[in-house]
Amino acid sequence: MRPSTFQFYALLKNKKHTSTVLIVTAALFKQTAWFLGIPLVVYLIMRARKPRESLPNTDDSDGTESIPELVDASKSNRFAFMTEYFDFRSFAVSVIVALSYAGVVMLPTLIAQPHFWDYWRLAMGHFSFDGNYVDVPSYGVPMTLPVLPIVAGMPDLAQLLESILITSAPLIFGVVVFAGAMLLLNKREGKEHIFLRQILFVTMLLMLWVSLTGPRGVFKYYFTMFGPFFSIFASGRMICSKDEHVPVSLSMFLMPFAFTLLILIPERNTYLLYVVLIFILYLLAPLINRLYDIVKRPFRFMKNLASRRKIQIDMQTTEVKYGSPVSRRLQILEYIILITSAIIGGSLLLYGVFICFSRVTAAISIILQFFIIAGVMIFIGAQLLSIAVNGLLPIEERRSNLNYTLKTLSFTIVIVVIIFGLITYALSLNIEPVIEKQALVISSTVMAIWAFSLVVKLKTHIRLFAGLLLLSGASLATWTWLLLNDAVMHNFGLACIAGLILYIMFVLVEILVPDENNDDPDVSQMEIETLVQ
């Protein structure tokens, strides 16, 4: 299956013959890859068209004649629309390349094994339940949808599903529907990448449908094919946007992990239920994206109202400028930041990986919780490590790389602290000890209210005060969760504390720089300025 996943990259680079050879190679090894040839056929046969333009008005004064050349051309060629939408010549060349390559590869096999086609047809069958719709299949049998009713204790429904699936009618119906959807997409000149992204999304839906309705069934490792799809289509904008570039969002980091865990963690008899859920979510993605846009409208209205009333709330993060290293105090502080970021970042990264593997024998709900927390710790740890690695770069390259990391880190800390605060407040309602409950309520309130101060335009001393207040609240909540023996929330709090410590250290640099500039206005080790978005 690996060559088939690279066919889309080859199409992205406009290497049609390379893509054709890749998909043929995958199809010779795995029958499932045959379905990935459908988007390749659609991409190759469809012609990139120019946007339609209105025709000029060339009517004569009496109005009796109108563009005679176009009228004659339409009458002489009734199939002009076919050549406008489809590129048969280029597609024929690709077909010749595919058949020639497949013939050369398969010729020795056909000579050595004349009955090769008979064995191939046998592989297209299905695994029967042999009339047993009470017990789940053995471990060596691939899973199909009738297994879910068997687990739920509904043998009649399982028998009905099997009788429908073995006819291949749902499979053929879905293939026809998704192939037709690909043909209805618009392939415009200069926007081939958008067309390829749309085809790639429909291809993912097609492969999910094939995996669910195929009469032969699937093993869990078959779904490794969907790793690239989940990574690409991890946000509503990637699915619905018509723009060439899509901005990065938090869902791009969370959704691939969530969908992967939904398939990886559940047992083999029930994981197809989560695959069905993923398929439905992707199928309803445009509607979900529209509902999310409706939810955001009140916030956009408040923002527009504030701008009309000249209420400005500017967003800002810390930006670092490097100069000639003269000040000993700033030089020491820089080394402290680099060492601290390396130690904390490496610790978060290693500890996040450790807790992923240390909870694999627990219940599914516990595993999912620790996997999510581990993902947060690994993500923050990687950003902190990038700060330490940035210190090894030449001075000219440090600023741009570090400033981007600081910007991303600031917004990441805000999101993580807010989520930690809200979850802490919600869970505190069920805490019985009075002191621990009040500590969680106070700390969660502080974090939820003051978290936005990290990215809102404030004076430097107020920013330092807000950072210390958030660090105190996060530390109090983390310590309380440790006393309550809640390892998930305790680890969540450690990730918040790690990010806040590094943020406060950069704010301290921002406070110290003016004093250094007063001592020596010509040169300084680090200069901090505000980045207004």
What confidence tens digit (pLDDT) does each residue in 308-366 have?
A: 665 555 555 555 554 545 467 777 777 888 888 889 989 998 998 888 777 767 777 78
Residue 530 CB: number of other CB atoms within 10 A? Answer: 13
Distance CA 376, CA 373 (A): 5
Provide the CA 436 distance to its chain's centre, in angstroms.
38
Is the alpha carbon torsion for 19, 25, 29, 34 positive or negative?
Answer: positive
Report the distance separating Cα 419 and Cα 421, nearest Å: 5
Q: How many CB atoms lie within 10 A of CB 160?
A: 14
pLDDT of residue 522: 39
d(CA 125, CA 217): 10
Q: Which two tokens stand for residue 5?
A: 């996943």
Can you tell me the distance from the alpha carbon of 526 to that of 167, in angstroms, rounded to the nearest whole number? Answer: 71
Q: What is the pTM of this model?
A: 0.62
| pLDDT at position 480 | 93
Q: Which residues contact 300 (CB under 8 A, 6 or more apart)?
A: none
187: helix, coil or strand? Answer: coil
Using DSSP, state whether 183 is helix, strand or coil: helix
What is d(CA 377, CA 385) in angstroms, rounded to the nearest whole number?
A: 12
Question: Could you tell me the sign of the dihedral formed by the alpha carbons of 286, 292, 295, 300, in that order?
Answer: negative
Buried residues in 194-218 as b, exposed as e (16+ CB within 10 A): bbbbbbbbbbbbbbbbbbbbbbbbb
Q: Cα–Cα distances in Å, from 302 out to 296, 298, 310? A: 10, 6, 12
Those residues of the chain that have pLDDT short of 50 are: 1, 54-55, 57-66, 68, 70-71, 75, 322, 324, 326, 515-533
With beta carbons less than 8 A apart as the criterion, state whether 146 and 129 touch.
yes
- Contacts (Cβ under 8 Å, ≥6 apart) of 34: 27
Radius of gyration, alpha carbons of the chain: 30
Could you tell me where the DSSP H helices lie in 265-313?
A: 271-283, 285-308
Q: What residue ranges in 295-388 does DSSP mark as E strands? A: 316-322
